[in-house]
Amino acid sequence: MQHFLKAALAAGALSVSIGMAHAQDLAPLNSDSEPDRIDWSQLDATFGPMPAPADGTKVGGVSKTLTNEYWRSLGEGYKSFADAHGVDVVYQAAQSEGDQLGQLSIAETLISQGFNALLFSPQTDANLIPALEKATAAGVPVVNVNDAVIPTVAHYVGNVQKDNGMRVAQWFIDTHPEGGKVAVIEGQAGVFAAGQRTAGFTETILAAGNFDVVASVPADWSRELAFNAAATILQQHPDLIGFYANNDGMALGVVEAVKSAGKADQTAVFGTDGISDAYAAVRAGDLTGTVDSFPVLTGEVAMEVALRLAAGQDLPRVVATPQALITKDNIETYATSDLSALRATLMAE
């Protein structure tokens, strides 16, 4: 399997060099700092109401996996917006977050099925490069939707990943002026979001001058691996005051380790994504907080961007979507299934 995956990714790298003319010599994308960007809330004001999709318009989406609630919620956003505009959508995903070759196969199959636009959420920054190049050559617009970033993609929708970690670090700085020891449970290596979330947290908290990041270890988005890593870190650093995990699934594994070690009153735990289990854990007092990136809303915005591109609009390279640090103090402000109310709340911030 590794041999075939390496061959596919090598072919993708060659395809990038050949296909750069099609990408208009775009610089490698850093979605957090790309200057050609617009906030999601400004699409209508800048480009007008979304054009009515042509009859028969259909959009294909490929995601990391449907075993993670975040990606299921993203698909709900795709379908909600598509249904409201009479557009057909097909949403598929790999069997697991580590099935890079399987995800590539799904993406390439979608390209052959005549979709008017495609939504890619790659497992790593590299594994869907071959599919992107094929779609570009076929004239099909591709939107990279969270959270790995294909370097040569022309359009990206998602939140500022580095800001996720920065928000959590600021919470520790504000609530622990005396400083202390903290640790990071990272996502999968080779994923833009994991690197940026970790960097945002680490750089911000170390700049305060009185915190020590005693460990920063990958757990590959796995709750079990996160539990094991956190248990080891707590054994080595029994005075640890907090963890930041790159997603909520891992954060919930960390919560289990913290409770097993009898450190729940001492050690804060934060995750990222805002899945329903994280909200429930915050309400229960087990999880200190999560950075919600509002996946259903993100899915709606991504579908809107895809349809605007399919209609021929020239949009900025990055459309930034919102996020918020959720704790017991503000959870009810954001805990709503009413997307209209949520949009109004986020636009007012």
pLDDT tens per residue, the chain (349 residues)? 334 334 444 444 443 333 333 445 789 999 999 999 999 999 999 999 999 999 999 999 999 999 999 999 999 999 999 999 999 999 999 999 889 999 999 999 999 999 999 999 999 999 999 999 999 999 999 999 998 999 999 999 999 999 999 999 999 999 999 999 999 999 999 899 999 999 999 999 999 999 999 999 999 999 999 999 999 999 999 999 999 999 999 999 999 999 999 999 999 999 999 999 999 999 999 999 999 999 999 999 999 999 999 999 999 999 999 999 999 999 999 998 899 999 999 999 8
Output the CATH code of domain 161-292. 3.40.50.2300
**Comparing 2-159+295-321 with 161-292, is the CATH topology the same?**
yes
CA 177 to chain centre: 30
267 CB burial (10 A radius; 0-12, 13-18, 19+): buried
Domain positions in the chain = 2-159+295-321, 161-292
- Count of CB atoms within 10 A of residue 262's CB? 11
Fold annotation for 2-159+295-321: Rossmann fold (3.40.50)
Element at 3 (helix H, strand E): helix 2-19
* Global model pTM greater than 0.75: yes
Query: What are the Cα distances from residue 34, in Å, to 27, 120, 151, 203, 318?
Result: 10, 19, 11, 20, 7
CA 340, CA 301: separation in Å to the nearest integer?
13
Contacts for 237 with CB less than 8 Å, ≥ 6 apart: 181, 183, 214, 215
SS3 326: strand
Cis check for the bond before 55: say yes or no (omega within 30 of 0): no
Four-point Cα dihedral 53, 57, 63, 66, nearest 10: 100
> Is-contact 241 182, C-beta < 8 A?
yes
- Count of CB atoms within 10 A of residue 23's CB? 16
